[in-house]
Structure formats: C-alpha cells, structure tokens
C-alpha cells in the first residue's frame, strides 16, 4: 500500500511539473498596428456574442480607446485612420492569444486569425476580446474571423 501511495505522489508531482511552452503574446502581426494597444474593458455578453468591425465613432458603442505609449495614456480613436476588430475567445488553462490580420486584395477580404495556445488544466478562466487596430478598412472589403485552439494534444478551428 505504501508503494502505491509513493507512486501516486510521483505521478502527480511529475504531471504538474511538465513544461508547457506558450508563444509570447503580442498585440499582433500582419495588418495589425503593433504599437496600438486597444483598451480592454470588462467583457460584456454583447461583446462575447458578436464579431466586431468598428469603422466609425458611432459604431464604437463600447467607447474603446487606444494607447500608443504602452498603456500610459489612452486616447480617442481616429476612425478616419483606423478600424477596430474584436472577437471573443476563452480557455480554462494557461493560455497565450496570438493574433494576425491578413489582407487579400484579389478577394477584397481581411482575415483576422486568432490562435489560442493552451496547456494544462487550471482553475483560472482566461478570456479576451482580442481587440486590435488596423489601418482603415476600405468599404468594399469584407472581414472573416477565424479562431483556432491549440492544446498539448489537439487543435481545432472555430469559425
């Protein structure tokens, strides 16, 4: 019986100490303005249930602001220059959100790729609206959102 108890302790200790490598979380790449930190207010049900393309001040119903000085000050967004994109993603593990926006001139489409890297099972719940700022979207362009979850064992796409 003592050997079983020792074996259980060893298995538990080694499973908790497994290395879990997550990519470095950044504001984003591609068309994303990497120096534009969009304010992250409390996430509401209205935010969660929608994909957001905010092109005008009147569409900015969440009164989001942007910082170009690493969050020291947040200012009103100039929607003559910028468009905001946001898509909810969450996980109950250690997590890193990796964001990229690509532009396809031929298809007249932007694609916002969010990859949620996750590992382990934890009691903490991580969620993000993944707000990013990109150069002003032309009126005749569409936006597609893709969220891909990658765990230690599997990956799946949530469109």
Residue-wise pLDDT for 91-138, tens only, equals: 767 788 999 999 999 999 999 999 988 887 666 677 889 999 999 999
Domain boundaries, position 70: 20-158
Instruction: Output the CA–CA distances (angstroms, integers) from residue 101 to 73, 104, 135, 136, in the order listed.
Output: 25, 10, 11, 13
- 4 occurs within a structural domain: no
- 12 occurs within a structural domain: no
In this prediction, residue 18 has a pLDDT band, given cuts at 50, 70 and 90, of low
Instruction: Provide φ and ψ at 54, rounded to 5°.
Output: -110, 110
- 114 occurs within a structural domain: yes
- 5 occurs within a structural domain: no
**Spatial distance between the Cα atoms of 155 and 149, rounded to a whole number of angstroms:** 5
Count of structural domains, the chain: 1
Of residues 88 and 11, more confidence is placed in: 88
pLDDT in tens, 23-57: 887 889 999 999 999 998 888 888 888 999 999 99
pLDDT at position 47 is: 86
pLDDT at position 28 is: 93
- 26 occurs within a structural domain: yes
- 35 occurs within a structural domain: yes
Q: What is the pTM of this model?
A: 0.80
Give first-to-last CA distance, the chain, whole Å.
50
State how beta strands 94-104 and 29-30 pair: parallel
Query: How many angstroms from the chain centroid is the CA of residue 116?
Result: 7
């Amino acid at each position: 019986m003592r050997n079983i108890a020792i074996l259980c302790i060893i298995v538990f200790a080694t499973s908790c100490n497994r290395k879990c490598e997550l990519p470095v979380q950044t504001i984003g790449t591609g068309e994303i303005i990497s120096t534009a930190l969009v304010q992250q207010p409390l996430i509401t049900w209205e935010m969660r249930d929608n994909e957001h393309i905010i092109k005008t001040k009147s569409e900015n119903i969440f009164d989001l602001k942007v910082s170009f000085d690493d969050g020291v000050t947040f200012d009103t967004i100039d929607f003559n220059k910028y468009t905001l994109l946001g898509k909810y993603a969450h996980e109950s593990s250690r997590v890193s959100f990796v964001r990229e926006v690509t532009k396809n001139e031929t298809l007249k489409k932007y694609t916002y790729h969010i990859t949620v890297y996750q590992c382990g099972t934890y009691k903490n719940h991580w969620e993000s609206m993944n707000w990013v700022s990109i150069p002003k979207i032309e009126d005749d362009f569409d936006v597609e959102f893709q969220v891909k979850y990658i765990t230690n064992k599997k990956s799946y796409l949530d469109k």
